[in-house]
Structure 1
């Protein structure tokens, strides 16, 4: 049982909080590249309760500054891109991507005020369609050589969505292998050839069995959790008969990402990023080991649910997530449609803005969540003590962090562990791009 003080310690992320201090030591997704259009590449961003503005200057450099102008506090997100930086619309003060003040137009000739002013600036890098920023102190960690970062851009696709709840409960739904048999249960199987871009709708690898059938008919997986250099590896095993077993391998990448199978040829790497204590964005990179991703189709599929400019769900708590009682009786377990993002959103938002973990009773299937929370608490304690934490890696270490393997397939009941490992190797060797060996 967890106390309310312990729950606050691992969920609240404002400046100066223990969990917030930890998460600030890592690169955080702050925007999709597509959110900075050519016409006006400026975007207001809220991250862990702080307000920033992200922009791309005339030279093509990305920058992120505190959102309030250091002159009189006006909103820099309403500014103009010109003269080598971002100019405040209030008095014309101009700042470059490094926070240097380039101009204070209303000051007298010869004024040195500009040289004395510096806006807080933060490093920004683009990786696979996502802009990552670092708002911690000291040097940021290196990016691991994971598939989502190693793949050429034509083999990846990035998207995001808003959940109106705390980041931790949103993350925990993705590291819970047992929920899929109920939350994502469909009463009828669809044509798997029509499943491109849809999670839990295709066939498991090395079979023609729809994953919907596996989840529906084999609802009690054996869950195995093991430590990994990057966090945790989770395996959910569902024996189908005396000779076959379904194996699903997923991963927790510390501090707040997971890597899961999307289909036989595609994986999802997903981060849950706090906007503040009561809202978060999920950011995902879809990585294909087969054909280039059909970005147009995948984006169109997701825009059926998510509404721009803030990537908010059209199905939400204000319209009961589109619940339909007839559908719940005949088509889906939740009655909330066929998009599993809606199911996940209902599950985590229904727990409250910040889940009250003092009232929960964990079971055997929650072993992945328990293991992750132990990693999180340990890392918070180390951060408070000024010690290095998991995935605070340098370039040399990053080069050797590859994969991680993420498989959904049906293999032999005996030797299933060898099966998923060999399936991963086989997929990498057949990839049209040089997929790093996991």
Structure 2
């Protein structure tokens, strides 16, 4: 890529083409749990914008620009009272729609508050997260993905901070080849770390995922367009004619959907805080039992620190690197948590990767396909056209989850029929799940 192209796909400020594109979509801005407690208000920064998110006394959500329109003081420290958020400096009061409803220091009968309005943004609760829309006009409708269709009891949401640009964080999720190396373990026994799904044995094979990835490191990768972006298929031929089949999906503009197990998927967004840092937001969706949210949260808080959800392992402590471990236990020497492996990979590229220096190979088909798609949608925006998934409510009804699978097909199987059957079985276990979208 040229330096100009690299800037085009990484910089998300208001005045940048990418910033205009990303502002056409709902963005995860917080977890629902972040507004729990005695004071449901917090500062948030998304796409370089400083805002305050709060819940008023009636339970309504509000998202306002953070600087008070009176003298610019910080509304994130405001008092939640009298139906809104009150600035500490002079007591001006704003409701969730940005209306100024009181200017108490002004003379009796003053109409000043009728002429003042704080910029407010639409907000909505979905999949255990709070989404905000930072663009102009009507926000798009949500497509019918499983994480949005599932009841709250079956979805667990979490997030984590990354000290790098959003794009390199997203691209690791559409690169199936890296798992054979970055997430390689030299021992096959069960582990309690996040990433233990690699220890599991498929219902159709005696091999663990560790063995599959370690011993068959050259996946055959294909890309197929879908209604939400594209489907990425990675095939690994196994002994006795079996085939390991992994189907993941790019969810435009900045998310992907991947299988975690035979009964759970992850939908993961990568949201710029600014151009050199981002959060990943993940919705874990169960197709069988309700999720144990307290236990899942407890497990992840051993790895992340509140209130900012920053990882305990980072550049500052070399990601826990241990040379002895690297020789005999893990490929990275950075423990068994695959999030740490991915974090090291994307942060080691620099805070904004210089893509003019990279040399892509055939395993980078997903990377190439996504960048091509992103550049195409940027051109559509520039030409005044609606980009992909800028959906009306009627259009959204026709967009269903495209299906995500990780399994072993028997010898001689029709691989397309195999993965669709596996996906159908998983959906059949969940009364709320609609049939997968077969449209290409």
Instruction: Please give the alpha-carbon distance, in whole angstroms, between the structure 1 residues aligned to 2:196 and 2:44.
Output: 29
Preserved CA contact (<8 Å) 1:197 1:298: no
SS of match in other structure, 1:178? helix
Structure 2 matches for 1:155-234, cutoff 5 A? 155-191=154-190, 198-234=196-232
Does residue 19 (structure 1) correspond to residue 30 (structure 2)? The answer is no
Larger deviation: 171-180 or 239-248?
239-248
Preserved CA contact (<8 Å) 1:197 1:301: no
- Corresponding residue for 2:67? 68
- Corresponding residue for 2:125? 126
Which residue among 357, 360, 385 is the counterpart of 2:358?
360
TM-score, structure 1 normalization: 0.97
- Corresponding residue for 1:271? 269
- Give unpaired runs (5+ residues) of structure 2: none
Structure 2 matches for 1:86-165, cutoff 5 A? 86-165=85-164
Structure 1 residue ranges, 4+ long, deviating more than 4 angstroms after superposition: 194-199
Cα displacement (A) at 1:311 = 0.3
- Corresponding residue for 1:5? 4
Provide Cα deviations, 1:282-340, integer angstroms capped at 9, x if missing partner.
00000001111111111111111100000000000010000000110111100001111
- Corresponding residue for 1:50? 49
Instruction: Please give the alpha-carbon distance, in whole angstroms, between the structure 2 residues aligned to 1:196 and 1:119.
Output: 42
Instruction: Please give the alpha-carbon distance, in whole angstroms, between the structure 2 residues aligned to 1:428 and 1:247.
Output: 18
- Corresponding residue for 1:407? 405
Instruction: Please give the alpha-carbon distance, in whole angstroms, between the structure 1 residues aligned to 2:402 and 2:200.
Output: 21
Larger deviation: 394-403 or 50-59?
394-403
Instruction: Please give the alpha-carbon distance, in whole angstroms, between the structure 2 residues aligned to 1:396 and 1:365.
Output: 37
Provide Cα deviations, 1:72-126, integer angstroms capped at 9, x if missing partner.
1011000011000011111110000100001001000000000000000000000
Cα displacement (A) at 1:223 = 0.6
Does residue 83 (structure 1) correspond to residue 87 (structure 2)? The answer is no
Instruction: Please give the alpha-carbon distance, in whole angstroms, between the structure 1 residues aligned to 2:326 and 2:383.
Output: 50
- Corresponding residue for 1:31? 30
- Corresponding residue for 1:246? 244
Cα displacement (A) at 1:207 = 3.4
- Give unpaired runs (5+ residues) of structure 1: none
Cα displacement (A) at 1:198 = 4.4
- Corresponding residue for 2:385? 387
Cα displacement (A) at 1:204 = 3.1
Q: How many pairs does the alignment contain?
A: 435
